[in-house]
A and B are shown apart, each in its own frame.
Chain A
Amino acid sequence: MDLKNFFRAAVVAATTATLSLSAQAADITGAGATFPFPVYSKWADAYKTQTGTGLNYQSIGSGAGVKQIQARTVTFGATDAPLQAPQLEKDGLVQWPMVMGAIVLVVNVDGLKSNDLVLDGKTVGDIFLGTIRRWDDPAIKKLNPSVNLPAAPISVVRRSDGSGTTFNFTDYLSKVSPDWKAKVGTGTAVEWPVGVGARGNEGVAGNVGQTKNSIGYVEYAYAKQNNLTYAAMTNAAGKTVRASIASFQAAASNADWKAEDGFYQILTNQPGDASWPITAATFILMHKQPANKAASAEALKFFEWAFEKGDKMAEDLDYIPMPDNVVKLIKDTWAKSIVTK
């Protein structure tokens, strides 16, 4: 009995969350961010029917994706929080943006439809700081004079696991709310003052769907697929924008991508009247000198195919494809940096 219990404790301590990756034979393996998982799996399905090559992508989170590629257990890693150039250099990695998306605030308030509610960065920061605790708070009412808000406490739902979505969301809040920057800051996992933590985008979506008067942040595709109500936002230019492909694209078109620094760009709070304020790119990481060159060549073939044929599929899921000029830069980088022969 004693030993059983010792083992229980030991197993919990040592192995609970180290999700081991079992790679399927002959297929491309990748692991990382949950944010782009819907579009990667859609591409993978289409690619498998066309070419017979499968893609085994594990959506285990950005940080885990980076760790897996550093440990060379996968052909590519995927992360929402880009690595800076010195880190890339140190690990011998190449980084590029694969697709862009947007983070929206989802709410579960009776009678509200998507884009009915308007929020600005400071108010969102205060809600997630716990300074605004009720839906009928004057700050929310001021932004929404014509909306009927319940006299009820706000249930905040956020991520419990470290996450690139959290990174982009907290980066945005740090840019727009000095209070947030001082008290919490930016990170893949932060010290949340209020709220309950749920695992993954799907966990937050599920919790908001279940809990009356709740608010959470998820990637737009998850909000749509779960039929959740999302809010409109006031952007950096002070204009109110609806969550839509047009506003996401407006934000993305403002980015200035450079191959030299690993395409390092954080797309939150971009200028422009029509820009959605919490836009984010998601990145792919591969080794310059892969251990398995054939697998890396296969992976690059897949990414090339995705850039050429995957735009429509990405848009169907409300992701924003990379602009053509950026794709060209990315392809040049592949040819220059990744050894596949």
Chain B
Amino acid sequence: MTDITTQGASEASKPFDRARALAAFKLGDSTFYWLTRVSALIVLFILGGIIVSLVIGAWPAIKTYGFDFLVTRRWAPQLEPTPILGALGPIYGTLVTSFIAMLIAVPVGLGIAIFLTEFCPIRLRRPIGTAIELLAGIPSIIYGMWGFFVLAPFMTDRFMPMVIRTFEGVPVLGTIFAGPPSYLSLFNASLVLAIMILPFITAISRDVFQTVPPMLKESAYGLGCTTWEVVRNVVIPFTRAGVIGGIMLALGRALGETMAVTFIIGNSFQISGSIFAPGTTISAAIASEFAEADGLHMSALILLGLLLFVLTFIVLAAARLMLSRLEAQAGK
């Protein structure tokens, strides 16, 4: 603004210029306002359009299968005239793989973030941090190939037989870890997913941990707290919202990841109860069968997509709800 007024003063002989300049600013401002507003609205329109087209595409399947789609275990596209198609297998696989991946990635990711901000020598901080962020940049098919050629042989030949022997005959655990080991399995897919989502959790948690005011931490240390106590009672409560945000972002990725999972999960619609058995996820099922599907089969795949959409929405909504509750509590 100051620049402009001096300019105006030096050309004071033309009084109309100032008004015109102001009008130009006003025009620029409102153009900018509308540009940003339209961009924001376009996002909403696209989102709405995607929902509408998903519902239209899925409509024949919704009409044919209705609620049964969610609880049917069979996936038999070859049957004439009406194939029997149910989403229970893919939903089960999606939830199980995401759950196991989170079970592994959350503690490890938070651990790395705490190490980086609290213990790590300054010299090592950048190389380790960069390495973690690079993990996020690796294309997912590379993870799939690594899982297929490196992880899977190791897991099938060494890890799984050992675990299966250990838990044989034990109720519940005996079923979860039942053999025979499969080269492509829910568990292998979960492990690869865990590695893929690790950078999200670590990078975001590290960034928010760094926002904790040093004075708070120093005070706690001054009171005689151990590092563990400082992390538990000062760092984590202070950064809760950010950490949960990072975890939810990771969960979103785990739910929707396609290529790497398709490669190593085995693409089987059967539900066996064992995590060492092959399975499938919603996105893997769509990616595998979409190209060759038609009619009801195609419509059912689109319905699967809609389900994933809804599932992700529920997860995000739950995260939001949790965050707002936490914030309300913190406010008291």
Residues in B whose Cβ lies below 8 Å from that of A153 = 180
Residues in B whose Cβ lies below 8 Å from that of A155 = 182-183
Contact A210 B43 (CB under 8 A): no
Which residue of A61, A197, A199 contacts B268 across the interface (Cβ within 8 Å)?
Answer: A197
Contact B267 A196 (CB under 8 A): yes
Assuming the contacts A17-B286, A170-B78, A185-B78, asked whether A63 and B294 have C-beta atoms less than 8 A apart, the reply is yes
Question: Which chain B residues (120-159) contact chain A, with CB distance < 8 Å?
Answer: 148-149, 152-153, 156
Assuming the contacts A6-B313, A13-B54, asked whether A191 and B283 have C-beta atoms less than 8 A apart, the reply is no
Contact B293 A6 (CB under 8 A): no
- B215 interfacial contact with A, CB 8 Å: no
Which residue of A1, A17, A207 contacts B183 across the interface (Cβ within 8 Å)?
Answer: A207
A195 CA / B278 CA spacing, docked (Å): 8
A230 CA / B308 CA spacing, docked (Å): 40
Assuming the contacts A8-B312, A196-B268, asked whether A14 and B54 have C-beta atoms less than 8 A apart, the reply is yes
- A201 interfacial contact with B, CB 8 Å: no
- A49 interfacial contact with B, CB 8 Å: no
Question: Which chain B residues (154-204) contact chain A, with CB distance < 8 Å?
Answer: 156, 180, 182-184
- A192 interfacial contact with B, CB 8 Å: yes
Which partner residue on chain A sits nearest B183 by CB separation?
A: A211
Which residue of A16, A161, A186 contacts B292 across the interface (Cβ within 8 Å)?
Answer: A161
In this complex, how many residues of chain A approach chain B with their Cβ under 8 Å: the count is: 51
Which partner residue on chain B sits nearest A160 by CB separation?
A: B267
- A187 interfacial contact with B, CB 8 Å: yes
Contact B183 A210 (CB under 8 A): yes
- The 0/1 profile, CB within 8 Å of B marked 1, for residues 59-86 of chain A is 0111110010000000000000000000
Residues in A whose Cβ lies below 8 Å from that of B252 = 4-5, 8-9
- B302 interfacial contact with A, CB 8 Å: yes
Which partner residue on chain B sits nearest A192 by CB separation?
A: B268
A182 CA / B139 CA spacing, docked (Å): 43
Contact B312 A64 (CB under 8 A): no
- A25 interfacial contact with B, CB 8 Å: no
Assuming the contacts A184-B78, A189-B289, A191-B78, asked whether A8 and B256 have C-beta atoms less than 8 A apart, the reply is yes
Assuming the contacts A3-B47, A12-B258, asked whether A189 and B305 have C-beta atoms less than 8 A apart, the reply is no
Which residue of A13, A67, A191 contacts B305 across the interface (Cβ within 8 Å)?
Answer: A13
A61 CA / B290 CA spacing, docked (Å): 11
- Across the A-B interface, how many residue pairs have beta carbons closer than 8 Å? 161
Which partner residue on chain A sits nearest B277 by CB separation?
A: A196
Which partner residue on chain A sits nearest B252 by CB separation?
A: A5
- B77 interfacial contact with A, CB 8 Å: yes
A6 CA / B309 CA spacing, docked (Å): 7
- A29 interfacial contact with B, CB 8 Å: no
Contact B308 A17 (CB under 8 A): no
- B262 interfacial contact with A, CB 8 Å: yes
Contact B288 A160 (CB under 8 A): yes
Which partner residue on chain B sits nearest A185 by CB separation?
A: B78
A195 CA / B184 CA spacing, docked (Å): 10
A52, chain B: closest CB distance, angstroms: 31
A79, chain B: closest CB distance, angstroms: 10
A264 CA / B305 CA spacing, docked (Å): 35
Which partner residue on chain B sits nearest A161 by CB separation?
A: B288
A77, chain B: closest CB distance, angstroms: 13
Residues in A whose Cβ lies below 8 Å from that of B12 = none
Assuming the contacts A189-B293, A191-B77, asked whether A13 and B262 have C-beta atoms less than 8 A apart, the reply is no
A297, chain B: closest CB distance, angstroms: 29
- The 0/1 profile, CB within 8 Å of B marked 1, for residues 1-42 of chain A is 111111111101110111100000000000000000000000
A12 CA / B77 CA spacing, docked (Å): 21
- B236 interfacial contact with A, CB 8 Å: no
- A272 interfacial contact with B, CB 8 Å: no
Assuming the contacts A186-B78, A189-B297, asked whether A17 and B267 have C-beta atoms less than 8 A apart, the reply is no
Question: Which chain B residues (224-262) contact chain A, with CB distance < 8 Å?
Answer: 245, 248-249, 252-253, 255-256, 258, 262
Chain B residues packing against A (C-beta within 8 Å): 43, 47, 50, 53-54, 74-79, 84, 148-149, 152-153, 156, 180, 182-184, 245, 248-249, 252-253, 255-256, 258, 262, 266-270, 278, 280, 283, 286-294, 297, 302, 304-306, 308-309, 311-313, 316, 320
Q: List, sorted by A's number, 28 A–B pairs whose CB atoms are closer than 8 Å.
A: A6-B313, A8-B256, A9-B309, A9-B312, A10-B50, A12-B283, A13-B305, A16-B286, A16-B287, A19-B291, A63-B291, A67-B294, A155-B183, A160-B289, A161-B289, A162-B289, A188-B78, A189-B77, A189-B297, A191-B74, A191-B84, A193-B270, A196-B268, A197-B266, A199-B267, A210-B152, A210-B153, A210-B183
| Other 16 A-B pairs with CB < 8 A, given A9-B255, A189-B293 | A5-B249, A13-B302, A14-B53, A17-B286, A17-B289, A17-B290, A18-B290, A64-B291, A160-B289, A185-B79, A186-B78, A189-B78, A189-B297, A191-B269, A194-B270, A196-B183
